[in-house]
Amino acid sequence: MSKFSYTAEEKISAEDFVQLLRWSGLSERRPVEDMDCIQGMIDHADLMVTAWRGDDLVGVARSVTDFNYCCYVSDLAVDLDFQHLGVGRELLRETKRSVGEGCSLILLSAPDAAEYYPRVGFTQHQGAFRLGSEQEIL
């Protein structure tokens, strides 16, 4: 039996989410100093799959989705102590299982993970665009 368990049902606190972001290294790229924003990210996520080792939170995949057409996987993070053990792959599998059959997963990779996503099956999309919060529609 795997030493990790996965669920889409468990709620986690903003503090636990931030701690995991820090332990994974993703905190450098997420607003961990702004707890209102972090709380909003949790409250308005449509799907949060979490990975557990016993009672310890070791991974999360946080997504915004309509469950039918598209699922934006915003944050994938695994505790550094448990990376390269298949936890990230299983979080993505559980995310895919949790949405409808016709639903695509979409994400923007952090630079360090750019070689990870093709390895677990994602196709790089040349047509991806982003409008940052500091940018205006022209």
Ligand X SMILES: CC(C)(COP(=O)(O)OP(=O)(O)OC[C@H]1O[C@@H](n2cnc3c(N)ncnc32)[C@H](O)[C@@H]1OP(=O)(O)O)[C@@H](O)C(=O)NCCC(=O)NCCS
Instruction: Please identify, using beta-carbon distances, which residue of 87 and 99 lies nearer to ligand X.
Output: 87
Using the rule CB under 6 A, is 119 a contact of ligand X? yes
Binding marks (x or -) toward ligand X, 61..100, rule CB under 6 A?
Answer: ---------------xxx----xxxxxxx-----------
Q: And the tokens for 68?
A: 């039918």
Task: Please give, one letter per residue, the 3-state secondary structure of 24-70.
Answer: HCHHHHCCCCCHHHHHHHHHCCCEEEEEEECCEEEEEEEEEECCCCE
Q: And the tokens for 5?
A: 């368990």
Q: And the tokens for 4?
A: 């990790």
Q: Which of 10, 56, 66, 112: binder of ligand X (CB under 6 A)?
A: 112
Binding site for ligand X (CB under 6 A): 24-26, 76-78, 83-89, 109-110, 112-113, 115-116, 119-120
